[in-house]
Structure 1
Amino acid sequence: MGRERSMDDASPIPEGTDEIASDRIADEALDWFARLRNATPEDAGEAEFAAWLRQNPRHAEAFDDLEAIWGSPAFLGAVRSLPVATPAAASARRTVEPRPHARPSRKLPVRLGAIAAMLLLAIGVWQAPALILRWQADYVTAVGDRATIALPDGSSMILNTASAVALDFENGRRDVRLLQGEAFFDVRHDPAHPFRVAGRFGAIEVKGTAFSVREDGARDTVILERGRVEVRLVADEAAQATLEPGQQVVASANALSAVEPADPVTALAWRQGRIVFDDQPFETVLAELRRYRSAPVVVTTGLAEDFRVSGNYRTTDIDGALRSLAAAAGVDVTTLPGGILILR
């Protein structure tokens, strides 16, 4: 579990170091804001909250400013418009109305304003236009989901989280376009009809084999588990590579990387609902975990560049993984309505 500050430890803020005091007040206000909205009536801690408000007039000001941020039409509209990926995700989200006493903000403290701006930015980026993708795709998986699909030729395909593909199996063709995300293919052997997968930057052709393709916007990564594949660069067909089992290659806009060793057991553990890391930077691990979560994870603090992670996590408990990693890194975790996680 993540390391969350106890509200019992709150104490009056000494005058003097105003910037440090303002930051601490903003932190405490944010903690109380999240605690009161996620609490049940039995553990709401209203008496403790009232005591915290009495400690310093600035406490009430900071809390009211934060409620004004949450109560603003733009922010509420962004949270309420979060797409429903799955029934489970929908049941986990709930909309919380602003308290009746929430009022329009005065000039917001810099820290609270920065938190609001980052939340809105995260939601805006997350709300990518998915309608066009759905129109193009034959199969789509929601964030956090995984699907196994039998293809018309007898091959099979496993789609990872937030993935989409378009198929063309007409007149003997066996063509797949990876529009987004990651897919694993176990291809039925048919020498007369090559099986082709097109990513954004790379194109793969096989007769019968098992391999994965991952498209992350900047590159396509191809990992071979069994058989043999030919990979070529879309922008330059002369740039080609042949993979043997346990190898990978990366295609970007203008180049095909050298063939490198890969560990399919680790890299493709998502097929069994696991994510495995071996001595990876914290930020790399965080980016991977974000792929499996339907609400934003916002980082408002610097993370130790030398903090590295090894672990094996379930894709069905991403929040548990995030809290465990945050605790190990000494990072605080706060949960806001709408499922938003703040690491700070």
Structure 2
Amino acid sequence: MSKISPLQNPATEQDRIDEQARAWVIRLDGESMAAEDYQQFRAWLAEGDQQRQAFKRIAELWDVLDTVMPELADSDIAAEAIETETVRGSQPWYYGLAACLLLGVMVLLSFQYSNSLETYQSNYATQIGELETVSLPDGSGISLNTKTSTNVNFDHKSRVVHLLEGEAHFDVAPDPDKPFVVYVADVAVRAVGTAFTVQLKADNSVEVTVTEGKVAMTSFEQPIAEAPDSRPPPEQGKNLGSLIEGQHMVVNQSDVSLENLPAPRIEKKLSWRQGMLSFEEDRLEDVINEVGRYTSVEIEILDPQMKDLRIDGYFPSGRLDMLLATLEGSFDIKVERLDEQSIQLSRK
């Protein structure tokens, strides 16, 4: 049976926490711990980030102690390890410790997960031309495109994100007991474990593209309130059906359209995540509207007939100059810069 080494009058608060962390690591190497002991362990972890970080750091260190023991021969950690060694069959003691540490780390992560989701709220936003990726406490991730604003609210029953503006891609960590819902305009997108993109267009239409898994779509007669207490459950809305991987839905006030997209088109739609804009036989007007999301410069097409010109290209989203140079050099378009914030396009 392993034992807990006594504290050695640590010089600092961090030393004291490290000693306690090592003591718990050693204790987890024991044959068994009572339920009360595990409660004490979780209570110690709950005291703060210093406790959780110290335990994780020392647990990771001990998990590879067999390969670094020579370098640690004179250290306090190695001395405690040797002192508390227990022979189990023909295997070194730290094989058993690794299994016990796995349990300890699982308890640690479980605590962090459940504790962080009790009342988690945050706002994430990007300015024009910015891209940002954030990690949520449940393991999900959000990639925010240019000029995007979101409000995140997690509790013990649900995970809710309100997309207030722009476009975002969601990689959802599976959790059947806590559905992941994205509210945008008058639409709710419900997922369990999947990946999808949601965009709120300038005309208040909503576009949803599923890249993995499945989502359920519902809509409401009025835009959904931002306040968490005022948001209706998704199931109370009008059922628009489900989307699976490779499907794209557009929802506006008068119509709902569904389309199956081949992989190249999905890759094109998501090229912004790599900081690129991809165009293939796109109308010039649509190209300018898309580029306009990434810059504060106003671009005007003077000749209405030019709006239907077809444009091909692959440009960094923040390089308006490259697009304009391509239009001038390859598409016989005159680019006139009126000032730093105004550009006009016409035929040469």
State the one-letter code of the partner of 1:257. Answer: S
Q: Greater Rg, structure 1 or structure 2? A: 2
Residue 266 of structure 1 corresponds to 268
Residue 186 of structure 1 corresponds to 171
Q: Which has the higher contact order (CA 8 A, sep 6+)?
A: 1
Residue 218 of structure 2 corresponds to 232
Percent of aligned positions that are identical: 30
- Gap change, CA 1:260 and 1:234, over 3 Å in 2: farther
Q: Which residue of 294, 319, 324 maps to 1:317?
A: 319
- Gap change, CA 1:306 and 1:343, over 3 Å in 2: closer
**When the two structures are superposed, what TM-score results if normalisation uses the length of structure 2?**
0.56
Residue 250 of structure 2 corresponds to 250
Q: CA deviation at 1:316?
A: 2.2
1:207 equivalent to 2:192? Answer: yes
Residue 145 of structure 1 corresponds to 130
Give the alignment's Cα RMSD to 1 decimal: 2.1
Mapped contact 2:295–2:318 kept (Cα < 8 A):
no
Post-superposition CA distance 1:182-239 (Å, at most 9, x none): 0000000000000000111321000010100011132110001111111122239334
Name structure 2 gaps, 5 residues minimum.
1-121, 222-235
Q: CA deviation at 1:146?
A: 0.2
Name structure 1 gaps, 5 residues minimum.
1-136
**When the two structures are superposed, what TM-score results if normalisation uses the length of structure 1?**
0.57
Secondary structure in 2 matching 1:144:
coil
Aligned pairs for 1:94-133 within 5 A: none
State the one-letter code of the partner of 1:158. Answer: S
Mapped contact 1:233–1:256 kept (Cα < 8 A):
no
State the one-letter code of the partner of 2:146. Answer: T
Q: Distance in 2 between matches of 1:238 and 1:302?
A: 39
Q: CA deviation at 1:145?
A: 0.7
Secondary structure in 1 matching 2:344:
strand
Q: CA deviation at 1:275?
A: 0.9
Q: Distance in 2 between matches of 1:254 and 1:202?
A: 13
Post-superposition CA distance 1:256-314 (Å, at most 9, x none): 22343253211101000111112111111111111111221223333435421122111
Q: CA deviation at 1:154?
A: 1.6
Mapped contact 1:175–1:196 kept (Cα < 8 A):
yes
Residue 290 of structure 2 corresponds to 288
Q: Distance in 2 between matches of 1:159 and 1:306?
A: 30
Q: Which residue of 164, 170, 176 maps to 2:149?
A: 164
Mapped contact 2:157–2:177 kept (Cα < 8 A):
no
Q: Distance in 2 between matches of 1:323 and 1:230?
A: 43
Mapped contact 2:200–2:206 kept (Cα < 8 A):
yes
State the one-letter code of the partner of 2:302. Answer: T
State the one-letter code of the partner of 2:238. Answer: A
State the one-letter code of the partner of 1:319. Answer: D
Post-superposition CA distance 1:227-257 (Å, at most 9, x none): 1111122239334121111111111124322
Residue 216 of structure 1 corresponds to 201
Q: Distance in 1 between matches of 2:323 and 2:213?
A: 34
Q: Distance in 2 between matches of 1:159 and 1:140?
A: 7
Secondary structure in 1 matching 2:150:
strand
Secondary structure in 1 matching 2:211:
strand
Secondary structure in 2 matching 1:176:
strand
